[in-house]
Amino acid sequence: MKNIIYTTCFIMLSVLISSCSSSGINGELTGSSTTNKDWRIPNPSGMVKIPEGSFLMGANNSANPYSNTQKKKITISSFWMDQTEITNNEYRQFVHWVRDSIIRREIIENADPEIGWKYANYKLDPDWQMLTGEKRPPKLDLSQVESGVYVETGINWAARLDPNSREYIDAVQVLYMAPKDQISDDNGNPPYPHFQHKKIDVRNLVYEYNWMNQYALRGATAQTWNRDNADVSEWGIVRNENTSIYPDTLRWNLDFTYAFNDPLFGRYFWHPAYGDYPVVGVSWEQAMAFCHWRTALKLSATDPQYRSFETAYRLPSEAEWEYAARGGKEQAMYPWGSPYSRNSKGCFLANFKPLRGNYWADGYIYTGRADSYWKNDFGLYCMSGNVSEWTSTTYDPLSDLHSSDVNPNYFTDVRDGESPSMKRKVVKGGSWKDVASFLEVGARDYEYQDSARCYIGFRCVKDIGSPKADINFDEQTKPSVK
């Protein structure tokens, strides 16, 4: 499955091509704008704007063993951030998109051309169509899809899938679990009546996408930044990734020894009761794939002439996350500003492990709704507790010593076989299973980028795309020029 190649070079070129040239007025230097279009980006749904500013990054509590960085004054540019962690409902939209795209692609490639053609968004050259009198080529040229972009060629998402149609039934077979992998008795029959149906093999739900390898642009070699499971172009600039995107629901059983978490293993991701709970069991690589898909989804619904102004969704850096979690409070130990985990009425202010052996004292045993408790002064929910959150930053205990003091982010992209320590990514915020020390905004932990846990989720950020001085943002309205 091919997807969007969202490259900065192409975007900048499209803007420059659309610009109007001017020879000046009366021979004077008047300047030349790159475009006369409205370049302002409307507020993304579900996000709040984090204003630019500076803060003292690092531990507020020197006695906390999980706050292992020195205090450092840094500056952060403004950005948008998801108000809550990505929920099961939101991530399930991604899973269903991948599932449906595989089915549509299978119909396009293997169904009768008269049927498969309506699922392809491939447009003929008008002259060829006029001369031949045909509305489509005799045989679908998928090479155009291979080299193109889904939002412009390839899949026609306006064509509805009919689950009862012959072409759908045939196409969906590629997703089903092989008979040898299904539960059966000695004769190959399902042992229980409720197993007498086919199951989708979630390992087949693979999202393929391309991204810009900025390290290659800085002069690094392709061999340095190529993982074994990824293809690299000749110059190592455009990278191709294939990511299995279904959450690892087994983590509910594997992350705890001698614990009965089967109900969550069997229901947490799909049951509607957990729809607004944070998605877990998602690795850093899966979170990165989600961010790319979310960008592609936004671009597909954006007028082509305005796509150049859109910015990509991505994971926050550790510095961005900590700045947002503090909510403008310089010395805040927790997102709510207080050094205590309870409010004046004795109620706990986050979902964590508040007492020895007592997970229920804060109102939840496991995760809670993504909008639980009170939001901080930036309007963000659950920046501490509920689930820990992935950042884009590579974990290094000494990274604060060599990182920049303006928008710092220590990022490495390594291949399999290289130092495992370079595959560690910073996670922040603490989770439902952690004690209060992990909830401090200056605390940091790590997990390997290809690992998933039942207590780690994520949220996205998005660049503003313009200087703060040019725009006055209102949370519910379109930005306006001052």
pLDDT of 222: 41
pLDDT of 216: 55
Strands 456-457 and 388-394 turn out to be parallel
pLDDT of 306: 82
Give the mean model confidence (pLDDT) for residues 88-108: 92
Q: Would residue 73 count as lying in a domain?
A: yes
Q: Would residue 318 count as lying in a domain?
A: yes
Which amino acid, one-letter code, is at 224? T
Q: How far apart are CA 149 and CA 143, in angstroms?
A: 12
Q: Is the pLDDT of residue 242 over 80?
A: yes
Give the dihedral sign, CA 108/114/120/124.
Answer: positive
Give the mean model confidence (pLDDT) for residues 326-351: 90
Bigger pLDDT: 131 or 477?
A: 131
pLDDT of 344: 85
- Lowest-pLDDT choice from 8-22, 289-303, 309-323: 8-22
Bigger pLDDT: 455 or 422?
A: 455
Q: What angle do CA 234, 210, 228 make, to 5 degrees?
A: 65
93: left (phi over 0), alpha (psi -120 to 50) or beta: alpha
pLDDT of 211: 81
Q: Would residue 474 count as lying in a domain?
A: yes
When divided into structural domains, the chain yields a total of 1
Of the ranges 145-154, 168-177, 330-339, 397-406, which is most confident? 330-339
The CATH number linked to 457 is 3.90.1580.10
pLDDT of 137: 45
Q: How far is CA 11 from CA 34, 209, 306, in A?
A: 12, 17, 10
**CA atoms within 13 A of residue 443's CA, in its CB half-sphere:** 25
Q: Would residue 449 count as lying in a domain?
A: yes
- Lowest-pLDDT choice from 110-114, 202-206, 254-258, 478-482: 478-482
Q: Would residue 314 count as lying in a domain?
A: yes
Q: Is the pLDDT of residue 421 over 70?
A: yes
Q: Would residue 365 count as lying in a domain?
A: yes
Bigger pLDDT: 6 or 265?
A: 265
Q: List the structure tokens of 35.
A: 């475009």
Q: Which domain holds residue 380?
A: 49-82+303-481
Q: Would residue 410 count as lying in a domain?
A: yes
Q: Would residue 400 count as lying in a domain?
A: yes
Structure confidence at residue 21 as a pLDDT band (50, 70, 90) = very low
